[in-house]
């Protein structure tokens, strides 16, 4: 087992449930298809990372079921239901068993930030050799990546998720705990119609 773990948070691309804020622009089927494409794009970047960096991969999902996820993203990944609770509770829950199993560095990402590539993922893991916490700031005030080298449940509690204050609140908690923080480049999630040109540029690259 690798001492590095990448945990991917995503959902099964069911129309009406995926990328709902884009449904007015793309329709339910179009929004779900965009989610599917971005998740598959993320997996390509993860596979590029694995070619040069030892990392185990786990997918934490909502919607669908294990068989549907395996048929979609492949049978060589571990799949675990996210379970109940807010995003913080679900992320904290994903960390505990990995650290208990002997993993020493964990990075969590979603599939909404197609600018996140294999190079940045490697930078995140490398940063954890010197820092307690690595964050990938998002332009909306949240973060697209968080990495830790020990379980710090306080980082995921009392956060106003899906608000522009997520990163600021997380940093404040980390500073109060005396954690050394590394930052990656600031990138954009694809959440709203005005974000779609970013995805079009990446597809054409």
The 10s digit of each residue's pLDDT in 160-184 is 999 999 999 999 999 999 999 999 9
CA–CA separation, 17 vs 60, rounded Å? 16
CA–CA separation, 55 vs 20, rounded Å? 32
Per-residue model confidence (pLDDT) at position 204: 80
CA–CA separation, 45 vs 61, rounded Å? 18
Per-residue model confidence (pLDDT) at position 200: 92
Given the DSSP bridges, would you call strands 105-109 and 4-11 parallel, antiparallel or unpaired? parallel
Q: What is the arrangement of strands in the sheet containing 4-11, beginning at the earlier edge strand? A: 78-81, 56-62, 4-11, 105-109, 143-148, 133-137, 181-183
Q: Mean pLDDT across the stretch 131-152?
A: 97
CA–CA separation, 69 vs 63, rounded Å? 9
Chain-centre distance of CA 52, in angstroms? 20
Q: Are 148 and 128 in contact (CB under 8 A)?
A: yes
Q: For 187, phi and psi rounded to 5 degrees? A: -130, 175
Q: Are 149 and 102 in contact (CB under 8 A)?
A: no
Neighbour-count burial of 34, counting CB atoms closer than 10 A to its CB (0-12 exposed, 13-18 middle, 19+ buried) = buried
- Show the DSSP H helices in the chain as ranges: 23-52, 66-73, 87-100, 118-127, 166-176, 196-204
Per-residue model confidence (pLDDT) at position 203: 84
pLDDT tier for residue 1 given thresholds of 50, 70 and 90: low
Kindly state the DSSP code that residue 7 receives in the 8-state scheme. Answer: E
> What tokens were used for 55?
């990392």
- Report pLDDT digits (tens) over 8-25: 999 999 999 999 999 999
Per-residue model confidence (pLDDT) at position 127: 98
Residue located via tokens 């970013």:
198
Domains of the chain as residue ranges with CATH? 4-204 (3.90.550.10)
Quote the mean pLDDT of the chain.
Answer: 96
> What tokens were used for 103?
């993993």
CA–CA separation, 132 vs 106, rounded Å? 11
Q: Are 141 and 163 in contact (CB under 8 A)?
A: yes
């Amino acid at each position: 087992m690798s001492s590095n773990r990448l945990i991917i948070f995503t959902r099964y691309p069911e129309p009406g449930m995926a990328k709902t804020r884009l449904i007015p622009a793309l329709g339910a089927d179009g929004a779900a298809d965009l989610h599917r494409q971005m998740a598959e794009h993320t997996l390509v970047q993860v596979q590029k990372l694995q070619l040069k960096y030892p990392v185990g991969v786990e997918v934490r999902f909502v919607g669908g079921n294990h068989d549907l996820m395996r048929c979609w993203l492949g049978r060589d990944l571990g799949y675990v239901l996210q379970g109940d609770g807010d995003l913080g509770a679900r992320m904290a829950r994903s960390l505990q068993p990995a650290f208990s199993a002997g993993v020493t560095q964990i990075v969590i990402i979603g599939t909404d930030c197609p600018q996140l590539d294999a190079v940045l993922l490697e930078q995140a893991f490398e940063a954890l050799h010197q820092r307690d916490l690595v964050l990938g700031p998002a332009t909306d005030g949240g973060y697209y990546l968080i990495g830790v080298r020990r379980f710090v449940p306080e980082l995921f509690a009392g956060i106003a998720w899906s608000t522009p204050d997520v990163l600021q609140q997380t940093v404040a908690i980390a500073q109060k705990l005396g954690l050394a923080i590394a930052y990656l480049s600031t990138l954009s999630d694809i959440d709203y119609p005005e974000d779609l040109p970013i995805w079009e540029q990446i597809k054409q690259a």
